[in-house]
């Protein structure tokens, strides 16, 4: 008989393109059929239609295992359903398709039995069973599809990946990130020249700096960049080492993932190993005893950090400078109280440490050269207002009837400016610093009264001046007096302005010299790492040896630990 004719009689529009011929033989073991598809499914809708047809085919055929096997395990039928002919991919799709089809068939068969028991027609046509229930099967299957409402959680176009394959892909991406900075590790590490989209160049061998410049888009690989950033913010040095170490851990775990070991088990093993490593580190730690030994050890720690940087030839000079800078700070060792100023020109050996606040010379008007450049114990006024004669820019409207009224407005502007300058002078301030511009009139006025002024001072320098020299940031000069002014022991100018020996809080500035901006910028990054290491060493009275000593000790420790675990 021909099941195709029965399907057409049921007026099913979805499968009129399929020609299904079944053998008239009743022997199930020798059942034969011919399947012809006019096209190959190319999207999800067409694939679902093919599965829909196969389900109905099974429901209308005697439900015996041999027929079920003949259908879903027939390679010709499955090859028609899948456009991809790759043997490996085809085998994976076949397994998924078989599992899904078997589940759908059993589900719809059970639904049909429940529905049929409630209808007398099913009991009357038991002898005609697999054909009498064809229309009912199609009806029940359609109703089940209408009852199903898909829940959309993610935005359209979002891709989701999971499973062992995705874990292995994540590991490969993380290892690729580590390979990009691997050549910069150690005293013989190489520097990398990075050029961004704007054409700005960066020369560095710092792992955090390199990864920050890279436009990493792979989600798992971004984690490696975040590890380097966290290491740089917390410790300062070892950004390259931590990335490479994490990649090696992932490489060691990769074979176990491929063999099907649970990731949670691998994580637990790493956690247990880290506890053993920390325990061994505490055993190998050396206590720092005595002031002289402490300073010498701090210098060696800073020199070790600089040994892989551009400053390795001058590491002894800069390591001593860094230790002096950190030692000069208060007991809390605030990092923001160490300023770094870059001045192009000169030799790298011309870099020096200034115990105080230093800031670059700002833009100045005529009359600045007549101002004194050296003071002893001056009072400092820190402003956040403009001392400049200019038109009002916020909601200003003047209605003038004659020339005399206009002259009164001009005279009033001059009077307001001079009143501000007089109040600053009467307060006793000798140095005036402002975040906003100080005009030419105010500059000449201060020069006539032996006062120094600087406008457009950077915010970070203003904050360091307030923290070091005291005083308040003034937004008005109506009630300025000595109580809101800062003070320092000495002020002088030498290419950049210096506030020397501030009394309220200890602050220092590293003045860096060099032939190029890129070299000075890398020097700044290197000194930042050394400063972070010295601060951390001063807060802790224990250190461990570097080089290969720790690796050898860990190797022996983990061998013994592995034997005990087994």
Instruction: Please name the residues in contact with 350: beta carbons below 8 A apart, sequence gap of 6 or more.
Output: 513
Q: Which residue has the higher pLDDT, 399 or 474?
A: 474
User: Which SS3 state, helix, strand or coil, does residue 498 take?
Assistant: strand
Q: pLDDT band at 306, cuts 50/70/90?
A: confident
Q: Is the pLDDT of residue 92 over 70?
A: no
Check: CB of residue 408 under 8 Å from CB of residue 459: no
Cα–Cα distance between 507 and 468 in angstroms, integer?
Answer: 6
Predicted local confidence at residue 85, as pLDDT: 46
Task: Quickly list H helices, 73-163.
Answer: 75-81, 87-116, 120-124, 134-147
Cα–Cα distance between 293 and 255 in angstroms, integer?
Answer: 47
Predicted local confidence at residue 342, as pLDDT: 86
Q: Which residue has the higher pLDDT, 188 or 54?
A: 188
Residue 193: DSSP 8-state = E
Q: Is the pLDDT of residue 247 over 90?
A: yes
Q: Which residue has the higher pLDDT, 132 or 145?
A: 145
Nearest to 380 by CA among 478, 455, 451: 451
Please state the rounded mean pLDDT for residues 28-48: 41
Please state the rounded mean pLDDT for residues 520-540: 88
Please state the rounded mean pLDDT for residues 252-280: 89
User: Which SS3 state, helix, strand or coil, does residue 288 take?
Assistant: coil
Predicted local confidence at residue 198, as pLDDT: 84
Mean pLDDT over each residue of the chain, to the nearest integer: 74
**Mind listing the pLDDT tens digit for each residue in 407-437?**
887 888 888 889 999 999 999 999 999 998 8
Predicted local confidence at residue 244, as pLDDT: 93
Query: Which position has the token pair 């021909």?
Result: 2
- Portions of the chain given CATH number 1.10.560.10: 164-261
**Residue by residue, what is the 3-state secondary structure of 520-558?**
HHHHHHHHHHHHHHHHHHHHCCEECCCCCHHHHHHHHHH
Cα–Cα distance between 470 and 482 in angstroms, integer?
Answer: 11
| Assigned fold of 356-391+403-505 | GroEL (3.50.7)
How far, in Å, are 104, 535, 561 from residue 337 at the CA level?
Answer: 70, 13, 46
Predicted local confidence at residue 517, as pLDDT: 84
Predicted local confidence at residue 277, as pLDDT: 86
Instruction: Please name the residues in contact with 62: beta carbons below 8 A apart, sequence gap of 6 or more.
Output: 28, 129, 130
Output the DSSP codes for 354-377. Answer: ESEEEEE-----TTGGGS--EEES
Q: Which residue has the higher pLDDT, 104 or 281?
A: 281
Predicted local confidence at residue 500, as pLDDT: 56
How far, in Å, are 166, 268, 269 from residue 264 at the CA level?
Answer: 16, 6, 9
Q: Which residue has the higher pLDDT, 302 or 61?
A: 302
Predicted local confidence at residue 30, as pLDDT: 31
Q: pLDDT band at 81, cuts 50/70/90?
A: very low
Output the DSSP codes for 199-222. Answer: --EEEE--HHHHHHHS----HHHH
Query: Which position has the token pair 């200003």?
Result: 396
Predicted local confidence at residue 395, as pLDDT: 55
Q: Which residue has the higher pLDDT, 146 or 532?
A: 532
Predicted local confidence at residue 11, as pLDDT: 34
Q: What are φ and ψ of residue 486, in 5° steps?
A: -95, 175
Predicted local confidence at residue 242, as pLDDT: 92
User: Which SS3 state, helix, strand or coil, does residue 1 take?
Assistant: coil
Q: Is the pLDDT of residue 286 over 50?
A: yes
Q: Is the pLDDT of residue 273 over 90?
A: no
Range of lowest pLDDT (14-23, 58-67, 347-356, 544-553) = 14-23
Predicted local confidence at residue 49, as pLDDT: 53
Predicted local confidence at residue 249, as pLDDT: 92
Output the DSSP codes for 291-316. Answer: HHHHHHHHHHHHHHHHTTSGGGGGHH
Compute how many other C-beta atoms are within 10 angstroms of the C-beta atom of residue 558: 15
Q: pLDDT band at 248, cuts 50/70/90?
A: very high
Q: Is the pLDDT of residue 1 over 80?
A: no
Which token pair is 188? 């013989």
How far, in Å, are 42, 285, 293, 395, 454 from residue 549 at the CA level?
Answer: 61, 12, 22, 71, 54
Range of lowest pLDDT (58-62, 100-104, 172-176, 290-294) = 58-62
In the CATH hierarchy, which top-level class contains the domain 287-353+511-543?
A: alpha beta
Q: Is the pLDDT of residue 138 over 50?
A: no
Predicted local confidence at residue 77, as pLDDT: 46
Q: Is the pLDDT of residue 98 over 80?
A: no
Burial class (CB in 10 A: 0-12, 13-18, 19+), 32: exposed
Cα–Cα distance between 98 and 379 in angstroms, integer?
Answer: 87
What angle separates helix 164-181 from helix 239-258, to the nearest 10 degrees? 150
**Mind listing the pLDDT tens digit for each residue in 352-411?**
888 888 887 777 777 788 888 888 888 999 999 888 876 555 556 777 778 888 788 788
Cα–Cα distance between 513 and 526 in angstroms, integer?
Answer: 14
Beta bridge partners of 492: 374, 498
Q: Is the pLDDT of residue 44 over 70?
A: no
Q: Which residue has the higher pLDDT, 405 or 450?
A: 450
- Portions of the chain given CATH number 3.50.7.10: 356-391+403-505
- Portions of the chain given CATH number 3.30.260.10: 287-353+511-543
Q: Is the pLDDT of residue 80 over 50?
A: no
Nearest to 80 by CA among 19, 23, 36, 48: 36
Cα–Cα distance between 17 and 30 in angstroms, integer?
Answer: 26
The architecture (CATH level 2) of 164-261 comes to Orthogonal Bundle (1.10)
Write out the E strands in 235-337. 286-287
Please state the rounded mean pLDDT for residues 471-488: 87
How far, in Å, are 73, 138, 410, 415 from residue 406 at the CA level?
Answer: 100, 94, 6, 14
Predicted local confidence at residue 424, as pLDDT: 92
* Distance between first and last Cα of the chain: 67
């Amino acid at each position: 008989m021909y099941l195709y004719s029965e399907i057409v009689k049921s007026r099913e529009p979805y499968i009129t393109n399929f020609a299904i011929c079944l053998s008239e033989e009743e022997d199930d073991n020798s059942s034969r059929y011919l399947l012809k598809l006019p096209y190959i499914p190319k999207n999800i809708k067409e694939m679902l239609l093919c599965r829909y047809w196969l389900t109905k085919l099974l429901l209308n055929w005697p439900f015996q295992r041999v027929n079920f096997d003949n259908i879903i395990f027939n390679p010709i039928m499955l090859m028609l359903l899948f456009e991809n002919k790759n043997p490996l991919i085809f085998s994976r799709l076949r397994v998924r398709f078989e599992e899904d089809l078997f589940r759908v068939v059993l589900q719809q068969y059970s639904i049909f039995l429940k529905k049929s028991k409630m209808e007398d027609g099913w009991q009357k046509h038991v002898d005609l069973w697999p054909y009498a229930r064809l229309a009912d099967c199609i009806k029940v299957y359609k109703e089940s599809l209408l009852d199903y409402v898909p829940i959309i959680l993610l935005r359209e176009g979002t891709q989701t990946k999971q499973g062992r394959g995705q874990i292995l892909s994540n590991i490969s991406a993380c290892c690729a990130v580590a390979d990009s900075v691997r050549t910069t590790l150690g005293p013989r590490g190489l520097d990398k020249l990075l050029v961004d989209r704007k054409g700005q160049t960066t020369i560095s061998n710092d792992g955090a700096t390199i990864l920050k410049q890279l436009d990493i888009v792979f989600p798992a690989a971004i984690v490696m960049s975040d590890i380097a950033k966290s290491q740089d913010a917390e410790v300062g040095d070892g950004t390259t080492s931590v990335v490479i170490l994490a990649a090696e851990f992932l490489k060691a775990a990769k074979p176990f993932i491929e063999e099907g070991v649970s990731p949670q088990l691998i994580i637990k093993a790493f956690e247990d190993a880290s506890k053993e490593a920390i325990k061994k580190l505490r055993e190998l730690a050396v206590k720092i005893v005595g002031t002289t030994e402490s300073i010498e050890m701090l210098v060696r720690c800073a020199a070790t950090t600089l040994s892989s940087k551009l400053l390795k030839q001058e590491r002894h000079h800069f390591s001593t400078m860094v230790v002096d800078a950190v030692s000069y700070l208060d007991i809390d060792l605030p990092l923001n109280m160490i300023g770094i100023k870059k001045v192009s020109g000169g030799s790298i050996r011309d870099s020096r440490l200034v115990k105080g606040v230093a800031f670059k010379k700002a833009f100045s008007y005529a009359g600045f050269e007549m101002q004194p450049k050296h003071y002893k114990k001056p009072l400092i006024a820190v402003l956040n207002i403009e001392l400049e004669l200019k038109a009002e820019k916020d909601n200003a409207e003047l209605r003038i009837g004659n020339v005399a009224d206009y002259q009164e407005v001009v005279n009033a502007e001059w009077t307001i400016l001079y009143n501000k300058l007089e109040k600053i002078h009467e307060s006793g301030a000798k140095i005036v610093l402002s975040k906003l511009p100080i005009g030419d009139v105010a500059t000449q006025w201060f020069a006539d009264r032996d006062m120094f002024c600087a406008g457009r001072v950077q915010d970070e320098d203003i904050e360091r001046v307030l923290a070091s020299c005291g005083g308040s940031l003034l937004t008005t000069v109506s009630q300025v007096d000595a109580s809101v002014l800062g003070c320092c022991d000495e002020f002088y100018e030498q290419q950049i302005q210096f506030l020397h020996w501030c009394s309220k809080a200890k602050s220092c500035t590293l003045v860096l010299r060099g032939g190029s901006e890129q070299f000075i910028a890398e020097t700044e990054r290197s000194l930042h790492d050394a400063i972070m290491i010295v601060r951390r060493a001063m807060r802790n009275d224990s250190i461990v040896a570097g080089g290969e000593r720790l690796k050898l000790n860990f190797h022996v420790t983990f061998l013994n630990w592995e034997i005990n675990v087994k």
